[in-house]
Amino acid sequence: MYCLLFQNFADMTMEERKQFVARRCSEVNKWRDEDELNEVKVSVLYDKEHSIMTCNNFKVGSSSIVEVFKSLSQHITQDIKSFRFYNLSQGLSPESINNSSAKTVMFVREPLQRLLSAYGNGAIVQRDNNTGKKVPFVTFLEDVLKVDDHQVNHHALSYFYRCRPCDIDYDYIGTMETFDEDIKYILQQSHIDIGIVPHRNNHKPHDSDDILKNVPIDIKVKIWERYKEDYFIYGYPYPIRKGETNG
């Protein structure tokens, strides 16, 4: 369905990213299930005073983004979960977001790295029924793949469904690879000064390269199938390297 030609999305300017996503979405729109996607609404964090909103995504620097919005509203001491609960606008249609005068933002991350981050910091906790210990990463991935997009934990829901990038004309699309630079650029372009920008907490295991290397090829293929729109739209490379074998 999708021809994967790797593009380094992180190296593009914001305008180049927007144009790239628009081109990729024109291909995706030929194949997608319109009726199924229309059921999906979008949740955003919105700061009315500064007229800026961001898709409420997870494991893409979301904690740091919430800290930025806390600074905008001067609720510095409020904990992240409470702030998100009280300042979240849920169930918005793409039309309502596009018709808003607010600047719109979303962030993305390589899908397998995002799942590893969710596993690494316990955002999605899976434990062995016999030992009570945390299951291996491969078992974690298998459990995620057993659940369809309508029921999967929000930390593992694809950007394509959660943020509707092919229906919403985002003004800024940031990446985890360039998170700090992108946050500063977005705030600067929006004429917002909050002083020191909060740094993201990556939650990336120290042995992440070995963990990912040991994921079996058949699981990587299934991850690609589940998140193919996320890989394709943002130019992330196919998760299986040339010449890679199991074992």
pLDDT: is 234 or 87 the higher one?
234
Query: Whose CA is closest to 108, among 238, 235, 242?
Result: 235
Query: Whose CA is closest to 161, among 207, 121, 127, 111?
Result: 111
pLDDT of amino acid 54: 93
pLDDT of amino acid 6: 55
Residue 235 tokens, joined: 């130019």
Q: Vertex 59, ends 81 and 107: CA angle to 5°?
A: 105
3-state secondary structure of 74: coil
> Using 50, 70 and 90 to split pLDDT, how confident is the model at 131?
confident
pLDDT of amino acid 126: 76
Cα four-point dihedral sign 44, 158, 28, 236? positive
- Please tell me the least confidently modeled range out of 34-48, 106-120, 127-141, 218-232: 34-48
Residue type, 23: R
3-state secondary structure of 205: coil
The residues facing 103 across adjacent strands are 52
- CA separation for the pair 53, 88 (Å, rounded): 10
The residues facing 106 across adjacent strands are 173
- CA separation for the pair 235, 21 (Å, rounded): 9
- CA separation for the pair 199, 7 (Å, rounded): 26
Mean of the per-residue pLDDT values of the chain: 84
Evaluate if residue 33 carries a pLDDT over 80: no
In the DSSP assignment, the letter for residue 127 is B
pLDDT: is 54 or 195 the higher one?
54
pLDDT: is 150 or 218 the higher one?
218
Evaluate if residue 107 carries a pLDDT over 80: yes
CA atoms within 13 A on the CB side of 216: 9
pLDDT of amino acid 145: 94
| Main-chain dihedrals φ then ψ at residue 52, nearest 5 degrees | -140, 140
What are the Cα distances from residue 39, in Å, to 65, 92, 145, 150, 235?
Answer: 26, 11, 21, 10, 26
- Please tell me the least confidently modeled range out of 35-44, 133-142, 169-178: 35-44
Evaluate if residue 125 carries a pLDDT over 60: yes
pLDDT of amino acid 154: 85
Residues 6+ apart with CB under 8 A from 221: 240
Single pTM value for the model: 0.86
Question: pLDDT of 144-202, one tens digit each?
Answer: 999 887 788 888 999 999 999 999 999 999 999 899 899 999 999 988 887 766 665 55
Q: For helices 179-189 and 62-73, what crossing angle results, to 10°?
A: 30
The residues facing 174 across adjacent strands are 107
- CA separation for the pair 225, 231 (Å, rounded): 10
Evaluate if residue 142 carries a pLDDT over 70: yes
